[in-house]
Amino acid sequence: MATDADTILLDYSNHYNKKENRCFILVQQHLKSTGGVGSWANNMNVWDVYENSKIADFSEGHLVGFNNATDNSLYTCEIYGSKCKSADEFENLIRPSMSN
C-alpha cells in the first residue's frame, strides 16, 4: 500500500467469513493532523469485498497541545448503519464479521 508524508500507519487485514459467505477487509490509517505537534487522526473502515460496500466507518482525532495535553474527538462511529460510541465498541462490533 502506498503512503504519503502524512501517513503514520497504513495497514489492513482481510477475512473470509464462512457463516456469512462474505469476504471482509479492515483498513486502518493513522495520519498526521494539523493543530499541534504529535496530533493525529485514526480512520478505520470495513468493506464487504464482494459487494464493494463500506459496512463500518470509524474516525477520531487526537489533538496534542501545550504540555502534551490531549483532546480526543470521535467524528464517526457506525457499523451497518448503527451508531457506536468508541473505538473499543467499534472493534467489538466488527469482530464477528472478521472472525467467523
State which residues form the domain around 29: 7-99
Flag whether 86 is in a domain.
yes
The answer to whether residue 53 is domain-embedded is yes
**Domains in the chain: how many in total?**
1
Neighbours of 90 (CB within 10 A): 22
pLDDT at residue 35 in the model: 63
Contacts (Cβ under 8 Å, ≥6 apart) of 95: none
Name the grid cell of 25: 477487509
Which pLDDT does position 1 carry in this prediction?
A: 53
- What's the pLDDT band for 6 if we cut at 50, 70, 90? confident
Give residue 77's pLDDT: 96
21-74 pLDDT per residue, tens: 999 999 999 888 776 677 888 999 999 999 999 999 999 998 887 777 778 899
Whether 2 is in a domain gets the answer no
Tell me what the mean pLDDT of segment 74-78 comes to: 95
Residue 3 predicted with pLDDT over 90: no
Residue 83 burial (C-beta neighbours within 10 Å; 0-12, 13-18, 19+): exposed
Using the predicted structure, report yes or no on whether residue 84 has a pLDDT greater than 80: yes
pTM of the predicted model as reported, rounded to 2 decimal places:
0.83
1 is a domain residue: no
